[in-house]
Amino acid sequence: MFQNGHLHRGLHCHDLVKQFGPVMVLRSVNFSVQPGQVVALIGENGAGKSTFNNIVAGVLRPTRGQMWLDGIAYDPHSPNDAMTRGIALIHQEIRLLPQLSVAENLFMGRLPLKNGRIDKQRMYEEAEQILTELGVDVDPRHPVAGLSMAVQQGIEIAKAILRKPRYVIFDEPTASVGETEAHLIFEQIRKLKSAGTGIIYVSHRLEEIKEIADRVVCFRDGTQVGDWPIGDISRQDMINAMVGRDFTFEHRTPKNHGADIVLSVRNAARHGVFEGINFDVHQGEIFGLAGLVGSGRTEIVRALAGADRLDQGTVTIHGNTIRLTTPADAIRAGIVMVSEDRKGLGLTLGQAANRNIAMPWEKLLAKFGCVFGSTLHKLGNDQKEKFDIRGQMGLPVGAMSGGNQQKVLLAKWLVQSPRLFIVDEPTRGVDVGAKMAIYEILRGLAGQGIAVIVVSSELEEVIGLSHRVLVMSQGRQQGILTRKNATPQAVMSLAVAH
């Protein structure tokens, strides 16, 4: 395979390592894809797939390791550098400019010129040619705004192909489209493959991987744990590889919850996002929401917290139907939510920890129209002791560790006891010690009779904490599992279901 220190034909990655501070995200990954080959890359959320893709596409630099591109050492310094060398990354998130035409988006940054002016005729003709070749039925003069997600995804693919890449990385290309549109994308991939383009195809939809891929590579916890020809691996084998057969957790069984129903959700839907959602949460119950990225987990709890509106369905708290149009509506009904975006939506990093905790409650805390420093000091110290927050509460919360920031965020929304406490990714970016402390906080809330909803990408976390687990896939509820039945394999089987 090696000759004079190089590799011939194909994209080859050897011993790739990526660290962010002390956190090891990729561990000695070896990966290859040949011209005209489709290699599927699978793994749970957080397995390292996106980090790997970003290294190959020049977005990130590896901490250690080597890459070769058709026999030549490959070390891209930017996405443009990678594109120049022949590697294109097609993101899951659409990155088109809606106010511009389809053609202008396709040629953004390299518009064809004639006599110093944009050659619109040539631009439209070339755009129409590539779109027709890919089977994307859209007028290149039409603005992108208002086009379907499937058409926009086709435009993203055409945009990359116009650069004539030798290798293309597809990151969840069918996550936002229906089955018909997905088959259109498969046809586009087959055309690329027949033209000799190598494809890295990232997807959680295991059925489509069986349809489109030649090989399957699985990552787990930043490590490559399998590499199989597509004919040698079943859907269940893929699930087992993703979750690990040696999966264990050390969570203790939660206390029995009460019989009273706190929250009832019936036929909840948000058009194009989720539909047909039905579940109850009991007093003192920890209710888990599981599913892969894009499954609709976060969107459901955002609607329950009043951040997004439901298009249909009913929500009741203790039997009373409530109307949720703003977060204030939810708070008045006794529903509070801790966002997964701790720094963007949860905390004001430049403000003191005690000030952050007081923000939602200033009207209650104010005397003579002002919140006194002594009130802030007392509230901060009370919550510090209650939630075991390490650090000075009068200093900016941005100076605290991630675990202590998360505790401040929990403390912020638990100044008063809610009826329903929702927490999205409760331990993202915190160390093991802080994780255990946060788990104890959540168990303590349930022990007080508060209904708790936990959304988590970590199977171990959501299974270990919850009395029951609702599993989502592509905006649809696939099942509710009891604690006894919520094995990693059972959850993952539902999470990758159509």
- Within a domain: residue 461? yes
Does residue 202 have a pLDDT over 70? yes
pLDDT of residue 98: 85
Angle between helices 432-447 and 402-413 (to 10 degrees): 20
- Within a domain: residue 253? no
What is the pLDDT confidence band of residue 275, given thresholds at 50, 70 and 90? very high
Share of the chain above pLDDT 70, in %: 91
Q: Specify whether 235 is located in the same domain as 359.
A: no
User: How far, in Å, CA of 452 to CA of 282, rounded?
Assistant: 9
pLDDT of residue 2: 42
- Within a domain: residue 254? no
Q: Specify whether 455 is located in the same domain as 489.
A: yes
pLDDT of residue 300: 95
- Within a domain: residue 221? yes
User: How far, in Å, CA of 286 to CA of 337, rounded?
Assistant: 14
What is the pLDDT confidence band of residue 245, given thresholds at 50, 70 and 90? low
pLDDT of residue 285: 96
> What would the pLDDT profile of 22-31 be if each residue is shown by its tens digit?
778 899 999 9
Residue by residue, DSSP assigns 349-388 as TTSBHHHHHHGGGHHHH-BTTB--HHHHHHHHHHHHHHHT
Among 243, 277, 305, the domain boundary falls at 243
> What would the pLDDT profile of 313-337 be if each residue is shown by its tens digit?
999 999 999 999 999 999 999 999 9
Average pLDDT, rounded, for the chain: 86
The arithmetic mean of pLDDT across residues 297-323, rounded, is 94
pLDDT of residue 371: 65
- Within a domain: residue 49? yes
Q: Specify whether 271 is located in the same domain as 226.
A: no
Q: Specify whether 155 is located in the same domain as 208.
A: yes
98 with 143: CB under 8 angstroms?
A: yes
Does residue 279 have a pLDDT over 90? yes
Q: Specify whether 346 is located in the same domain as 434.
A: yes
Question: Checking DSSP bridges between strand 451-455 and strand 286-290, what pairing results, if any?
Answer: parallel
pLDDT of residue 309: 93
> What would the pLDDT profile of 141-185 be if each residue is shown by its tens digit?
988 887 766 678 788 888 888 888 899 999 888 765 656 667 778
Share of the chain above pLDDT 90, in %: 40
Among 196, 216, 243, the domain boundary falls at 243
Q: Specify whether 125 is located in the same domain as 270.
A: no
pLDDT of residue 368: 65
Apex 280 CA angle, 274 and 283, nearest 5: 140
pLDDT of residue 178: 55
pTM of the predicted model, to two decimals? 0.62
Q: Specify whether 387 is located in the same domain as 485.
A: yes
pLDDT of residue 228: 94
Total structural domains within the chain: 2
Least confident of 92-96, 222-226, 372-376, 399-403: 92-96
Q: Specify whether 410 is located in the same domain as 440.
A: yes
Q: Specify whether 22 is located in the same domain as 128.
A: yes
pLDDT of residue 329: 93
The arithmetic mean of pLDDT across residues 201-214, rounded, is 87
Long-range contact set of residues 185-188: C-beta below 8 Å, sequence gap at least 24: 185/150, 185/153, 185/154, 185/157, 186/211, 186/212, 187/135, 188/134, 188/135, 188/154, 188/157
What is the pLDDT confidence band of residue 404, given thresholds at 50, 70 and 90? confident
Q: Residue 321: name the closest of 371, 267, 364, 397 by CA.
A: 267
Give the residue with greater pLDDT, 247 vs 217.
Answer: 217
Q: Specify whether 419 is located in the same domain as 362.
A: yes
Q: Specify whether 377 is located in the same domain as 418.
A: yes
- Within a domain: residue 46? yes
Among 212, 243, 274, the domain boundary falls at 243
238: tokens are: 């893929």
User: How far, in Å, CA of 356 to CA of 347, rounded?
Assistant: 6
Does residue 112 have a pLDDT over 80? no
398: tokens are: 């941005």
- Within a domain: residue 491? yes
- Within a domain: residue 374? yes
Range of the domain at 219: 2-243
CATH number of 342's domain? 3.40.50.300
Q: Specify whether 310 is located in the same domain as 228.
A: no
List of residues 6+ apart from 199 with CB closer than 8 A: 33, 37, 38, 39, 167, 168, 169, 170, 189, 192, 193
